[in-house]
């Protein structure tokens, strides 16, 4: 499992897609962005265009990744943890999104040969938000820490440059 983190618009998605494009196995893109409003629809359309012709099968899954069935031995890109956590908390009303999401990630790693998870750094601005938003930030911190623990490789994308925080790329990607 490879975890890719970073701030907004820093090249996380491009790096994840590049890593999977070098794989010679079936590729699944798990899209977690709920299509609310024009901005979301534009982002989804832009991401689909970028992936076009790269061999990805797109699976739209906004919640419940713990029940997602994927083929054995595939490569998976989950985009992105921030959306998934928000969907679980605010759409599904999940009381413990951290456990549910980590359980889902563990199930995906059992089946996939390679899992790349894109996540966001959401707590570095030092601003105090509403109680609901602070609960989201806390959950994201817990999820990111747990994912970093179980990942084989953790990368921060800084201005499009991958900075390795843990491990290295597997041989199939080196």
What token pair was written down for 160? 């499009």
Task: Answer yes or no: is 75 within a domain.
Answer: yes
| Count of structural domains within the chain | 1
Q: Do β-strands 2-6 and 114-118 pair in parallel, antiparallel, or remain unpaired? A: parallel
pLDDT of residue 174: 60
CA-to-CA distance for 159 and 174, rounded, in angstroms?
21
The pLDDT assigned to 6 comes to: 94
Q: Is residue 172 part of a domain?
A: no
Order of all β-strands in the sheet with 161-166: 56-60, 27-31, 75-79, 114-118, 2-6, 153-158, 161-166
The first and second tokens of residue 10, run together, are 């820093």
In a domain, 171, yes or no: no
User: Per residue in 88-145, pLDDT tens?
Assistant: 999 999 999 999 999 999 999 999 999 999 999 988 888 889 999 999 999 999 999 9
Write out the residue range of the structural domain in which residue 62 sits: 2-166
Q: CB atoms < 10 A from the CB of 90, how many?
A: 13
For the record, the structure tokens of 17 come out as 């897609």
DSSP summary character for residue 160: T
Q: Can you give the CATH number for the domain in which 53 is found? A: 3.40.50.300
- For residue range 42-52, list pLDDT tens digits in order: 887 888 887 88
Residue 173 placed within a domain: no
Pairwise CA distance, residues 156 & 166, whole Å = 10
Contact (Cβ atoms closer than 8 angstroms) between residue 115 and residue 108: yes
> Within a domain: residue 138?
yes
Evaluate if residue 173 carries a pLDDT over 80: no
Strands 153-158, 161-166: parallel, antiparallel or unpaired by DSSP? antiparallel
Q: At what angle do helices 131-150 and 97-111 cross, to 10 degrees?
A: 30
Task: Locate 124 and state its tokens.
Answer: 């570095």
Residue 113 lies in a domain: yes
With respect to residue 127, please indicate whether it lies within any of the assigned structural domains: yes
Residue-level pLDDT at 168: 94
Give the gyration radius of the chain's Cα atoms.
Answer: 15
- Of the pLDDT bands very low, low, confident and very high (cuts 50, 70, 90), residue 154 is very high
27-73 tens-digit pLDDT = 999 999 888 888 888 887 888 887 888 899 999 999 999 999 999 99
Whether residue 21 is predicted with pLDDT greater than 80 in this model: the reply is yes
pLDDT of residue 78: 98
Residue 174: inside a domain: no
């Amino acid at each position: 499992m490879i975890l890719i983190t970073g701030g907004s618009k820093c090249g996380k998605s491009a790096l994840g897609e590049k890593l999977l494009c070098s794989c010679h196995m079936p590729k699944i893109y798990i899209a977690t962005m709920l299509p609310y409003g024009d901005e979301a629809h534009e982002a989804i359309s832009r991401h689909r265009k970028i992936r076009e012709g790269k061999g990805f099968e797109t699976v739209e899954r906004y919640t419940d990744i713990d029940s997602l069935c994927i083929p054995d031995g595939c490569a998976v890109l989950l985009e992105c943890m921030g959306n998934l956590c928000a969907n679980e908390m605010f759409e599904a009303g999940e009381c413990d999104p951290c456990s549910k999401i980590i359980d889902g990630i563990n199930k995906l790693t059992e089946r996939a040969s390679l899992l790349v998870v894109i996540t966001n750094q959401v707590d570095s601005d030092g601003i105090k938000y509403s109680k609901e938003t602070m609960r989201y930030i806390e959950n994201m911190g817990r999820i990111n820490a747990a994912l970093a623990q179980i990942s084989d490789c953790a990368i921060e994308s800084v201005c499009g440059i991958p900075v390795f925080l843990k491990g290295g790329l597997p041989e199939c990607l080196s």
